[in-house]
Structure 1
Amino acid sequence: MIAEPEPVEYVRVCDVFGTGFFYIPGTETCLRFDGYVRYRVGASEDADGWFKRTRVRLNVDTRSETELGTLRGFMRFQADWGNGDTGSNGTITNDGDVGIDQAIVQLGGFYAGYTESAFAAPWGLPGPARFGILHTDQGGMYADQQRHQLGYIFNGGNGFFGSIALEDDNHLGDTVLPPEFRNIGESDGYMPDVVGTAGLNQAWGAVWGGVGYDESASEFGARAGLQWNVPNAPGSSLRLGGWYASDPNAYAVEMPINGLAEWSLAASYHHQFNPQWGAEIGAQYMQSFDDPAFGDDSDGYQIEAAAIWQPVANFDIRLEGHYYNQDGATGEDDTWDGFLWFRRSF
């Protein structure tokens, strides 16, 4: 007797968590893949030739509903091929090695794992509160770094949001602080840094603020931002923001060329002319600490601008440039860089 074939279980669309999710066959877990492939060529004032970078990014997002809230696991795999620094995202020294750039587990509002610092890009909060004020890909200076962390997030139906995070200060990520300000390896390495964020996100735009306490330096940084969505111009917005640091610490933003800023102000505008064309321009001013190691009370600014063309869905071409100026900077007082990229998103 010939056995009956097993019934085929086709992949089902999962629309509970938004577009792109599908049920893993035989489970109630929803899965989504997204990411991009990008080629970028850049130049800078100090370059002797073009800098190239090709990046592959794959995000894996799994979610399911439980009696304690949504259970989520997020992983980001990334690989870069390049021959140097293009002015943003650092210098590439590897050749296509795939690494796990982020990994987060979340249940309800609680989350734990490795991702951007909650001071620069709070996990799970609305887009306007994440990264710098400037609309450009580089985003200006905003104390960008990645850290291990434990946290809790809140997203209310009325638009209010907030988070509290404990960050591991033994993992410095991209911070520019020298070791003498971190006390790495001493007993205070057991104590985490603390970051809090709160804000409001509605149809007109968003407003937010946050504070990060650097336990090793016993100092703090603060930031605040505002986004106004321009009426009758879908996709267009104006952003204003500022940062302050009580003394050099991990939550002080960088100066345009070298050093750390005591305070900084930024403004940026993105205009979407039509679904295919957009442009943005922004500027950021910084005042350094009165300390030779962190800028010696110098001031500086940077200007960033970009033009974006999306000829077809999920494909964009971006031309972006940056100019930096800082009085009393180590080395040159001003410099520039820029890039052109081609990106296929999915």
Structure 2
Amino acid sequence: MNIKSLLIGSAAALAAVSGAQAADAIIAAEPEPVEYVRVCDAFGTGYFYIPGTETCLKVGGYVRVQLGFGEGTSERSDYDIFARGRLEVTAKNDTEYGTLTSVVRLRGHASENNAGYDDNWTELEEGYIDLAGFRVGKIYSWWDDDLFSEGDYLSNNTLFASARYVFTGEAFSAGLSVDELTWDNGTGAYDDANIGLTGMLSGAFGPVSATLLGSYDFDYEEFAIRGIGSAELGPGTLSVAVAYASGENTYFNAAEWTVAADYAFKVTDKLTIAPFGQYFWDYQLDSRIGDAWTVGLTAEYAVTEGLTALATVNYFDADDNNLNDSVTGFLRLQRDF
């Protein structure tokens, strides 16, 4: 009886152990938790958190197709078609010094009928770091901000390697920028890099806003000043700009004095039209060829969300007999994302 009980107990124990091993063999390991991309609404729409970090990322850009027309548009004909694209990546996160921002903008251009050769290129358009009012990198200067219309001439090259600081108050802002300047010497080659200094003062008072710029080119030892103001007037916005150049410089040298104005008004919710005019005293400072003026019309139409069509036509006339009157313009289709 004892032997039988012992055998039965041993068999039961063996079965229990075997059953436990069989059960353990089919238990699957729990999967690792997956971190899904989260929307970041701290810096506006379009941002999302980089997984595993507190940094918010935004991806955007545009695709543009443009047809330019007018005498001298290219060496082959009086028109030129090109395609251009921009890819922009912005990263932001909060720090003890404020919002840390970094921006990378890559731009590509393709044209098969420009100056008699294929004009295809890709470049770093902008790349900078921004923190506590300081911005360093390759950036557009304040001279790049101009009128709504597309026919005005209020600056030269506006993209520099710069270091700048901006103080922002409730109704005004002030900034100072140190710019590395390079200038085409007329032979297709560029002079050695030099230094420029730009000061900015801007304010907004209800429907009226104004910005004053002053820049000094240490290589040419000349300066340029420009003021732009705008005001909401009736169904649109009236903008006026005045610029002065003491002589040849990198920032603005189209004339000794110039004044420009446009009026951008909404015909419908989708269509905006802006007539403009500009007058130059002592057009082209290097040769003092005389006065000149230009007038034009720009129309922008929002086809649908993210897709815009823009057209402009401009007439130019100069006192100098060596410069022919000209009509130029372009048609543009742009998809922003």
TM-score by length of 2: 0.83
Q: CA deviation at 1:253?
A: 3.6
SS at match of 1:241: strand
1:341 paired to 2:335? no
CA distance in 1, matches of 2:209, 2:116: 34
8 Å Cα contact 1:248/1:262 also seen in 2: no
The 1:289–1:277 alpha-carbon spacing in structure 2 relative to 1, beyond 3 Å, is closer
CA distance in 1, matches of 2:69, 2:250: 29
Instruction: Find the counterpart in structure 1 of residue 274 from structure 2.
Output: 280
Q: CA deviation at 1:91?
A: 9.7
The 1:335–1:93 alpha-carbon spacing in structure 2 relative to 1, beyond 3 Å, is same
Alignment of 1:1-346 (within 5 A): 2-46=28-72, 48-84=77-113, 93-95=118-120, 97-118=121-142, 120-121=143-144, 130=145, 132=146, 134-137=147-150, 139-156=152-169, 158-169=170-181, 171-172=182-183, 184-185=191-192, 192-230=195-233, 233=235, 236-254=236-254, 261-288=255-282, 294-328=286-320, 331-346=322-337
8 Å Cα contact 1:117/1:144 also seen in 2: no
Q: Which runs of 5+ in 2 are unaligned?
A: 1-26
CA distance in 1, matches of 2:127, 2:113: 26
- Structure 2 residue identity aligned to 1:50: Y
The 1:297–1:337 alpha-carbon spacing in structure 2 relative to 1, beyond 3 Å, is closer
Once structures 1 and 2 are overlaid, which stretch shifts more, 28-37 or 294-303?
A: 294-303
CA distance in 1, matches of 2:92, 2:98: 10
Q: What do residues 59-87 of structure 1 show as CA deviations (whole Å, max 9, x unaligned)?
A: 111111111111111111111111345xx
The 1:310–1:15 alpha-carbon spacing in structure 2 relative to 1, beyond 3 Å, is same
CA distance in 1, matches of 2:135, 2:117: 30
SS at match of 1:6: coil
8 Å Cα contact 1:45/1:336 also seen in 2: yes
SS at match of 2:260: strand
How many correspondences in the alignment?
A: 306
Give the structure with the larger strand fraction.
Answer: 2
8 Å Cα contact 2:226/2:241 also seen in 1: yes
Q: CA deviation at 1:94?
A: 3.1
Q: Which runs of 5+ in 1 are unaligned?
A: 122-129, 255-260
The 1:82–1:275 alpha-carbon spacing in structure 2 relative to 1, beyond 3 Å, is same
SS at match of 1:278: strand
8 Å Cα contact 2:283/2:291 also seen in 1: no
CA distance in 1, matches of 2:204, 2:116: 35
8 Å Cα contact 1:203/1:229 also seen in 2: no
Q: What do residues 147-166 of structure 1 show as CA deviations (whole Å, max 9, x unaligned)?
A: 1111101222x221121000
SS at match of 2:54: coil
SS at match of 2:157: coil
8 Å Cα contact 1:105/1:113 also seen in 2: yes
> Which protein is bigger by CA-based radius of gyration?
2
Q: What do residues 27-58 of structure 1 show as CA deviations (whole Å, max 9, x unaligned)?
A: 11111111111111121124525310111111
Q: CA deviation at 1:286?
A: 0.9
CA distance in 2, matches of 1:50, 1:61: 35
Instruction: Find the counterpart in structure 2 of residue 127 from structure 1.
Output: none
CA distance in 2, matches of 1:59, 1:91: 31
CA distance in 2, matches of 1:72, 1:91: 41
Which runs of at least 4 in structure 1 moved beyond 6 Å after TM superposition?
none
8 Å Cα contact 2:37/2:50 also seen in 1: yes
CA distance in 1, matches of 2:248, 2:186: 10
TM-score by length of 1: 0.81
Percentage of pairs with the same residue: 27
CA distance in 2, matches of 1:115, 1:84: 29
8 Å Cα contact 2:296/2:313 also seen in 1: yes
CA distance in 2, matches of 1:276, 1:92: 37
8 Å Cα contact 2:104/2:124 also seen in 1: yes
Instruction: Find the counterpart in structure 2 of residue 258 from structure 1.
Output: none
SS at match of 1:248: coil
